[in-house]
Amino acid sequence: MGENRREELTDRFRALAEYLNRQLHAGRLDEWEGLGMTIPQIKTLVLLERLGSLRMGNIAACLGRALSATTTVVDRLVEKGLVDRISDPNDRRVVICKLTDAGEETLKRFWRIGRERLDPAADLLDEEQLEIVVKGLELIHWAEDKLQRTHASMQSTVEQDPPSD
């Protein structure tokens, strides 16, 4: 595939993804506002949802925040019952953060896209078209998951292997 064609397809992909994101999540911000959470708290929950339990330092690195600021955010999430802080059994000085059941349910409720938004669109597609859409979305899911795990792995390596003097 030529570079111009790939660039054109990438531009179309971005535009369609942005459109779908806006259409499917319209009104969801009101739901977050009702939870009384800050953007850093939301980002922390989403990160833990995507990557699973993480060290406090990994959370700070992934979000590009200072460890002290991250600790404050996590403390608030613990108070809300959405995150647990546990000590690493191998090193009690290390704090590992994980979503609680309530945290998982909060995120599921937020991300769940109502059937009323998707079912009518799916009903307009025949079986072959629906299969094409599903395969495309599965590829996007795979690629994004790979990017997230690669990023987390790189952050973990940096934290575990500090540069020597």
Q: Among the residues of the chain, which ranges form H helices?
A: 3-25, 28-35, 39-51, 56-63, 67-79, 101-111, 115-123, 127-160
- Residue 114 DSSP class: P
Q: How far apart are alpha carbons 39 and 131 in whole angstroms? A: 36
CATH number of the domain encompassing residue 51: 1.10.10.10
pLDDT at 165: 43
Q: Is the pTM of this model over 0.85?
A: no
Residue 143 lies in a domain: yes
Q: How far apart are alpha carbons 96 and 80 in whole angstroms? A: 17
Sheet bearing 83-88, strands edge to edge: 54-55, 91-99, 83-88
Residue 43 lies in a domain: yes
CA–CA distance from 29 to each of 42, 47, 89, 141 (Å)?
A: 11, 18, 38, 23
pLDDT at 153: 75
Residue 25 lies in a domain: no
- 3-class SS of residue 26: coil
pLDDT at 80: 95
Q: How far apart are alpha carbons 150 and 158 in whole angstroms? A: 12
Residue 163 lies in a domain: no
Residue 4 lies in a domain: no
Which neighbouring-strand residues pair with 54?
A: 97
Range of the domain at 127: 37-154
Q: How far is CA 92 from its chain centroid?
A: 27
Q: How far apart are alpha carbons 58 and 65 in whole angstroms? A: 10
Of the candidates 19, 15, 39, 52, the one whose C-alpha atom is nearest the C-alpha of residue 145 is: 52
Residue 16 lies in a domain: no
Q: How far apart are alpha carbons 34 and 54 in whole angstroms? A: 27
Residue 31 lies in a domain: no
Structural domain tally of the chain?
A: 1
pLDDT at 131: 97
Residue 161 lies in a domain: no
CA-angle at 90, arms to 145 and 151, nearest 5°: 20
Q: What is the mean pLDDT of each run of 10 residues along the chain (165 residues)?
A: 90 92 74 79 93 93 93 96 90 90 88 75 95 95 89 65 49
